[in-house]
Amino acid sequence: MNLNRRKLLSWFGLGWLATLLPSSLVGCSEATPPTTASTASAPESVAAAPNGTFKAIGTVAQLEKDGNLLSSDKKIAVVRDPQDATKLLAVNPTCTHKGCTVKWEKANKEFVCPCHDAKFAADGAVRRGPAEKPLQRYASKIENGQVLVSA
């Protein structure tokens, strides 16, 4: 009789566990915030304008001649991807350390900050401090000889 009661209690215990487990899992999945590419800070992430519009920064001819393009408001810099010259890389050239405008050094294929000498790869990744965060990336493309960026 005593064993039967124990058996019965253990079955009830498992029954409650089986009942609560699925609702607990649902509760956890609802509490998990959605992740989007726009919230990531890694240099691989590319921010796109909320409305997905692209604006012309310059011509491909200018890019080839100068090795880089800088928008008139100095908020966007575009270079050829050193790993694949058929691709473009667009970044915000505002240094993530104290806000100076970084300059493209074609010879070393990197952005250099004139204020405290931080260095960034063409994709915005930090190569040398004092900056700790990468440059913000933007989506870019070429259409009809124009370099277009979504920022």
Contact positions vs ligand FES (CB under 6 A): 95, 97-98, 100, 113, 115-116, 118, 130-131
Euclidean distance between CA atoms 122 and 141, whole angstroms: 16
Write phi, then psi, for 91 (nearest 5 degrees): -135, 165
Minimum Å distance from CB 52 to ligand FES? 30
Quick one: 113 or 121, whose CB is closer to ligand FES? 113
Minimum Å distance from CB 76 to ligand FES? 17
Token representation of residue 31: 């509490």
Quick one: 54 or 110, whose CB is closer to ligand FES? 110
Minimum Å distance from CB 94 to ligand FES? 9
Determine the length of the chain. Answer: 151
Q: Which letter, b or e, does each residue of 56-70 get, where b requires 16 or more Cβ atoms within 10 Å of its Cβ? A: ebbebebbeeeebbb
CB 19 within 8 A of CB 106: no
CB 18 within 8 A of CB 120: no
Quick one: 133 or 139, whose CB is closer to ligand FES? 133
Quick one: 48 or 115, whose CB is closer to ligand FES? 115
